[in-house]
Structure 1
Amino acid sequence: MADLQPSAVGTSSNSSGTSSNPRFTPVSYDQDSDSLASGPAKSPIGPLRVETNFDDHPDVGDPLSDLENEYNTSAELEGKFRQGGSAPRYTSEEESEVVKRFDRRLVPFLALLYLLAFLDRSNIGNAKIAGLQEDLQLSPSQYEWLLTAFYITYILFEWMTLMYRLVPPHIYISLCVCGWGLIASFQCLATSFWGLVVLRALLGITEAAFGPGVPFYLSLFYRRHELAFRNGLFISAAPLATSFASSLAFLIVKFSSDGPISPWRTLFLVEGFPSVVVAVFAWFLIPDSPGQARFLNRRQRMVAQQRLEENTVDYQQSYGSRFNWREILKTASDPKAYMAAFMFFSCNVAFSSMPVFLPTIIKDMGYSSLQAQALSAPPYLVAFVVVLLTAYASDHSRSRSTYLIAHALISSIAYLAIALTGHFHSHLSPALHTFIRYICVYPATAGFFSAITLIITWSMDNRVEKEGKGASIAILNIIGQCGPLLGTRLYPQSDGPWYVRGMATCSFFMIVVAVLALAMRILLQRMNRAVADSTYTIVEQAGPVERGEERDVLMGGGRRDDLEHSTGDKRLVYII
């Protein structure tokens, strides 16, 4: 069967400079069925299928070459190569097992780290009503600056997302975790406003180096239609951490009120120091790449690499490879990156304000400090479940905008209901307006947590190169994390106990999220139609192909499968 070799697309070099070029081989289809026939092509040029020939350089940089020493029998080698021995092959059961291993061993541990990070970030809201404001004699303005100081450095150091491509992740993540654990613990030693401001600023640096880059790190292990649920598992640690913080704060305040140190100091110490201990485990448990995961056996590591079409044997080799600055510039000039960033900005206005102000808001509804700590937990437990269900449904349907728009609108309506109830509280009984305001907290929090998950995932879905994914996350966070600069100032003490202005502002920005998501959906739909029309014309020239078959080729199943190879250009079908 003759090979036709147009210009190579999506080829990548290994560490020795060799490459594997995709080849397009004519195949034929039986006239009575859609199955692939083994006979010769019906015409000199027919439908094309992609083969990747690894025989040109069998010894250099090939993760499969090592496997031949381990798998000697025909049964063991079955599935290793396609017919003709030209391309690696694995079964769907093997791939499923690899994904399950990552789901059990990698994602939960990263979620634990993010839980600890978000716990150390947001527990200042619980510390405030546990005596922090009185002991340090903080004015309302000074308390707002404590919140803002964290986000100023968090924004300034968003560029550190790209460090995941330059430093081995197990080293980088471990240092970040240990750093924020120590700084969060040192907050218990603060004796003045300025000392606490410095510590909050340092905490922002260490957390900026970790959290924003984790979705990019996960994209090295999962295909794009698998990412939303895994990002959901990771980000859902935020509402879980807030719920845990409220429950833990309730216990700490209750049992340490007569202790040797103030309850808020105990709170910072108890919630901060565990991160230092977990950092030791991170050093050994975090893999640098799919091919270096210790919890996978040798063949599973090969499958993990090949299913994402990783051509480097290990991640460390890619550190020394040429950094694709062109892809970064391309992402920086893409309007879609900024649409996602402004969605993130708008959503962060609510995301940053509610977790740190909810205990105060509930206390101002007429509850005691202990009751407010306890009542702050349930809304975040509900949000935790909703985030996971939304992310799973989004991956299953391969759709982002539908769920994003729905959650943004629901959250906006809930915020608006709280604002209107506060504005017209004189016309309602105390029991009724308290009930409405508290119940509406549930859809408001579930909405913006789910929206955050989908925005982060969507911003990377439609990028192929690692540098593009990293750059999109950096742009997303540099612009998006400016939202907390506004969000942390939405609920001044002078606006209590109704906080109408803050609630109305959050309602407005969640509407902005919905509008931008709708605009992004329309833009991507038009781009997909343009790609489909262009590709259909080219395929027609090569031979007759059914429209349904063309769509199957375009949609694909993996990161590289979503590329149209026939023209020598990277043609990505965008997830909408």
Structure 2
Amino acid sequence: MIKTMALETTEKSSSTIQTDPEKHVDASSVSSGADAPLAFDPRLEKTWRKIDYCLIPVVAMFYFLSFLDRSNIGNARVAGLQKDLKMSNKEYSIALTVTYVPYIVAEMPSNLVLKAVGPNLLLPTLLTLWGIATTLQGVVKSYKGLLACRFFLGLFEGGVFPGLVLYLSFWYPRQRLQWRISAFFSSASISGAFSGLLAYGIINMDGVGNRPGWAWIFILEGLFTVLFGLSSFLFLPSTPDDARFLNAEEKEYVKSQLRETGATGLSEAADKFSWYEVRQAFLLPQVWMLAIVFFFDGALVYGLAYFTPSIVQSLGYTAARAQLFSVPPFACAFFVMMIGSYISDRYGCRGFISMFCGCLCIIGFSVYLTAESAQVKYGTLFLNITGAYCAAPALSTWGANNAAPHIRRATAIAIGFIMTNAGGILVTWLLGSLSPPPLYRKATITLLIFAALMVVVSGMNLYYLWSQNKKKAVIRATTSRSEEKPGLGDRSAWFEYSL
């Protein structure tokens, strides 16, 4: 059903269409003379499904391989990597940290050049290169060799997650975005489950080619990444204009809907690089509040990704069973994540989903600290992994929704993921060497505090955005758009923040 939105009404669903040109959310406030959007046409709504079928599986595979190749070192550790390379717990933490440093350095430059280079070229190139780095981990003979591979793995993977979030914002209106981000981020939870299953099978190759089982984990998974990276050059389109699977009418419909919600990629004037827009992103309060939450959730996600097999093993399971028992919590996270994303897109409640996820982690870590039964401790992984992983797409979409135009949005997304990986650095030391098994008490208490702070800061950001929307509604009710200074981006009174 078509609705006409009042000026002070926020977007309620992805099918809500504004038809008054003065009510357009022109995110850049640059091309206010853009063509009027096409009228809502139910016949053309199938376009979104067509994009989903052609784009989301490819994007999901990119992130699946990214997370698999970064976190499979946890499975390799349980399979004997640390013992064979004679690494201490401290040296293992250093190996994880070496991945994050170039990863963080690469995130912002990669996002800023993504549109200029073309996502259809940059993303497959990065995928292929990190696949080579992953494969080489399987042939290293020393700790120093492993460090070199982990460095280049982080360097080439750094631009992937922020780049994929930015890339999808070229295709989907704001209120359609989280479900799609969740669809590809859910591949992280699938990779957590799949990595355990793969490792369970691959370690039986121990001795094949005179290589240990943990080496084959890297070799087989890395070679698949290289092959997929090379093939993806053929079927990853850059923008809707370049999509061979859309006809001219469908392309125009997509661009029309993007204009309606202030999405990125609408005009050269709005999207060209500008250091001014980079600086503006650093001045947005919502960017920094979300950056803090990203830091906390990054610690949760990467801590559980890298150490779940070790945690399960510390509860008394054998190495093989630890690989297998790490699967169910990640599978649970996948289903809950998709449900949460549907609710978030349908009702526009990014902030509440983030707070709910933080509460799941609070309960999970609290029970883990106090329970004596190994079975109960294992059960808390379902709460912790689900909460940590379900929060990530909500936070990613929340950040992408509330910064515009393109360069400001690209910078804001990169800031969020830089903070995510900073949290990853911290947790590799907490769980790697500063907090010994089986209880991991110091790390568990720290992550419990982080989960509580996630809820608090998410609530603060939600209140800030709500109060800004109220102020913007007053401005829209008392002035006309022609009186507003151009170039305000998300600060425009005609740009309503997503809550």
**TM-score, length-normalised on structure 2?**
0.88
Measured in 1, the distance between the counterparts of 2:421 and 2:153 equals 15
Match of 2:333 in 1: 383
Q: Runs of 5+ in structure 1 lacking a partner?
A: 23-51, 53-86, 426-432, 540-563
SS, match of residue 285 in structure 1:
coil
Measured in 2, the distance between the counterparts of 1:12 and 1:461 equals 13
Residues 152-183 of structure 1 show CA distances to partners (whole Å, capped at 9, x for unaligned) of: 11112122221212211111111101001111
CA contact (8 A) 2:168 2:177 kept: yes
CA contact (8 A) 1:387 1:449 kept: yes
SS, match of residue 430 in structure 2:
coil
Query: Aligned match of 1:299 in 249, 272, 275?
Result: 249
Residues 22-52 of structure 1 show CA distances to partners (whole Å, capped at 9, x for unaligned) of: 6xxxxxxxxxxxxxxxxxxxxxxxxxxxxx4
Match of 1:574 in 2: 497
Match of 1:456 in 2: 396
Offset, 1:219:
0.5
Offset, 1:193:
0.7
Match of 1:537 in 2: 478
Query: Aligned match of 1:489 in 422, 429, 441?
Result: 429
Match of 1:327 in 2: 277
Query: Aligned match of 1:505 in 446, 449, 457?
Result: 446
In the superposition, relative to structure 1, how do residues 247 and 444 fare at CA in structure 2: closer, same or farther (>3 Å)?
same
In the superposition, relative to structure 1, how do residues 434 and 280 fare at CA in structure 2: closer, same or farther (>3 Å)?
same
CA contact (8 A) 1:166 1:319 kept: no
Offset, 1:326:
2.6
1:470 and 2:410 matched: yes
1:521 and 2:454 matched: no
User: How is 1:158-557 mapped onto 2 (pairs within 5 angstroms)?
Assistant: 158-159=107-108, 160-256=110-206, 260-309=210-259, 318=268, 322-421=272-371, 425=372, 433-492=373-432, 495-538=436-479
Residues 469-489 of structure 1 show CA distances to partners (whole Å, capped at 9, x for unaligned) of: 101012112233211111111
Offset, 1:522:
1.1
Match of 2:95 in 1: 146
Measured in 2, the distance between the counterparts of 1:379 and 1:514 equals 22
1:119 and 2:68 matched: yes
Offset, 1:420:
2.2
Q: Runs of 5+ in structure 2 lacking a partner?
A: 1-20, 487-491
Measured in 2, the distance between the counterparts of 1:453 and 1:95 equals 27
CA contact (8 A) 2:314 2:437 kept: yes
Structure with higher Rg: it is: 1
SS, match of residue 457 in structure 1:
helix
Measured in 2, the distance between the counterparts of 1:139 and 1:12 equals 52
More helix by share: 2
Match of 2:12 in 1: none
Offset, 1:304:
2.1
Runs of 4+ that moved beyond 6 A: 11-14
Measured in 2, the distance between the counterparts of 1:167 and 1:317 equals 16
Match of 2:7 in 1: none
CA contact (8 A) 1:9 1:568 kept: no
CA contact (8 A) 1:165 1:319 kept: no
Measured in 2, the distance between the counterparts of 1:261 and 1:270 equals 12
Measured in 2, the distance between the counterparts of 1:9 and 1:101 equals 25
CA contact (8 A) 1:407 1:448 kept: yes
Offset, 1:504:
1.4
In the superposition, relative to structure 1, how do residues 336 and 91 fare at CA in structure 2: closer, same or farther (>3 Å)?
closer
Offset, 1:399:
1.2
Match of 1:39 in 2: none
Residues 417-448 of structure 1 show CA distances to partners (whole Å, capped at 9, x for unaligned) of: 11222xxx4xxxxxxx1111001100100001
Offset, 1:567:
4.4
Give the fraction of aligned pairs with identical amino acids, expressed as a percent: 28
1:133 and 2:82 matched: yes
CA contact (8 A) 1:9 1:565 kept: no
Deviates more, 1:411-420 or 1:300-309: 300-309
Measured in 2, the distance between the counterparts of 1:400 and 1:463 equals 15
Measured in 2, the distance between the counterparts of 1:369 and 1:12 equals 54
Measured in 2, the distance between the counterparts of 1:479 and 1:404 equals 16
CA contact (8 A) 1:174 1:279 kept: yes
Measured in 1, the distance between the counterparts of 2:350 and 2:71 equals 28
RMSD: 2.6
Measured in 1, the distance between the counterparts of 2:73 and 2:284 equals 38
Offset, 1:93:
2.5
Residues 489-539 of structure 1 show CA distances to partners (whole Å, capped at 9, x for unaligned) of: 122466111111111111110111110001011111111111112222337
In the superposition, relative to structure 1, how do residues 105 and 319 fare at CA in structure 2: closer, same or farther (>3 Å)?
farther
In the superposition, relative to structure 1, how do residues 412 and 95 fare at CA in structure 2: closer, same or farther (>3 Å)?
farther
Measured in 2, the distance between the counterparts of 1:202 and 1:413 equals 37
Offset, 1:9:
9.0
Query: Aligned match of 2:54 in 95, 105, 125?
Result: 105
Measured in 1, the distance between the counterparts of 2:271 and 2:42 equals 33
Counterpart of 1:573, as a letter, is E
Count of aligned positions: 468
Match of 1:63 in 2: none
Higher relative contact order (CA 8 A, sep 6+): 2
CA contact (8 A) 2:361 2:448 kept: yes
Counterpart of 1:358, as a letter, is T
**TM-score, length-normalised on structure 1?**
0.77
Offset, 1:415:
1.1
